[in-house]
Structure 1
Amino acid sequence: MSQDDIEASKAPLLDHLIELRSRLIKSLVAIFIAFLICFYFAENIFNLLVVPYARAAGGMQNIHLIYTAPQEYFFTQMKLALFGALFCAFPIIAMQIYKFVAPGLYKNERQAFLPFLIATPVLFILGASLVYFIVMPLAFTFFMSMQQTGSVNQASIQLVPKVNEYLSLIMTLIFAFGLVFQLPVVITLLGRAGLVSAASLASKRKYAIVVSFIAGAVLTPPDPISQCSLAIPCYLLYEISILAVRYIERGRERARAEADAAV
């Protein structure tokens, strides 16, 4: 490459870096603003996240949470505000990513990329909703069944969670389920790129079952209800991914057949 070619390539690279910095700054500003708003409403958000525990206990009046360090609840609110900020700012972050990538794509590639960008938050919300409405109430019903009332021969054992531990548990589950629910997006993108095929995915079903239950064991509390609640949807999403890749392959075959017929 000549010196002139090198000099000619510097300007586009610099433009891309400036554009990337601009998109990052806008994303960080969106996260910061969302963080301030979520921190202001942190107590309300926390009470909202406590609802699954309350459903298992039979109502808010039947639950108690504690914190044992003076700063613990404050840092819990900070963590909660960051969690809410990332969740609320995701549409803006995704749009900045799309605007950065889109100029380098053809029109048909942009049309193919946009549905995946929309599907990502939708699937994440579906995973979070599964945690909120089903997994957490079932898990805490299981945990609370281990309590025992005191008697002459038995100690009184009650579940009194710490606020930071409860928040860490539900946030971990929400992120775990939200990420697992991205499986169709990831596999479909790989299928569109030609890196995987429906036939190869179908031949690996037995491995998918094993990996699904391993993910359930690693990412959820150590109770069978929570583990199955993640493992079963994970495998179902794998089957949906096979159908999506098969649909893409059929579309590719039709386009190839139409091109051959035109020739």
Structure 2
Amino acid sequence: MNLIDAIVQGILLGGLYAIFAAGLSLMFGVMRLVNLAHGAFAVLAAYGVLVIVRVALVSPLIALLVVAPAMALLGYGIQRLILQKTLGESPLPSLLVTFGLSIMIENILLMTMSADQQRLSLGALDTASIELLGGIRIGVFPLITFLFAIVALGTLSWVTARTQYGRLVRAVSDDPDTVALSGANPKRIYGYATAIAFGLVAFAGVAAGIQTSFSPTSGSLLLIFAFEAVIIGGLGSIWGTFAGAIILGIAQTVGAAIAPAQQVLIGHIVFLIFLAFLPHGLTGRKVKI
């Protein structure tokens, strides 16, 4: 029964990782850009909510309604002013720039917020749980996070597959020059995609800040988890990313049940196994970089 419980908890944890990874997958799928500052922006969103909670004395979920749109606007601005200039045949400029952004954000947070561990609280909801058959208990907030992941990724999948904007996204990811000739603005499409990615990462950062503690240096580990989920699922695939996140979450919780001190390590090992035997992920999609 402990194994079943670990699998259930891993599925819920995978929902959190899926929200993290969705934005990373979207930016790569649209712009062929790997955002190394992804985790740092998640932490920035968590600190933004923390500041609003302390000043306005409101729930973190209320503060998130302010921070998520602000992060989306920030993402749009950063893409148009900075990231757009790094796009090209070589991925090196964008890697260097986003790495620099992550270092800058981390150091600003260290100077302004200190290196102390922080945590966001929802009061009784932090420890509220539901009992399933066999005595398995699942947390209410992790369940909410998992359901939000399904809704968010489902909506994102529907938008990219069924709407005019989605058709433009798919077209601009393949041939931006031809899309520009048709009258559409690829730069604006890139900006909107980045805004969506930053909005998702804000939700993910705050959800992680409620479930566990965070500090200015937490972003690097969050980036690794998101990157592993994307690679396991397949670059540029939304539902592949979701499946990859679930696999990573289960690997970590089952690993923790077997060897509690090696939870993260076992997740890394599963990632390396996929990288060795399924280098193109579950979808098998080959992507040119």
Q: TM-score, normalised by structure 1?
A: 0.27
Rg bigger for which structure?
1
Normalised to the residue count of structure 2, the TM-score between the two structures is 0.25
Structure with the larger RCO, 1 or 2 (CA within 8 Å, 6+ apart): 2
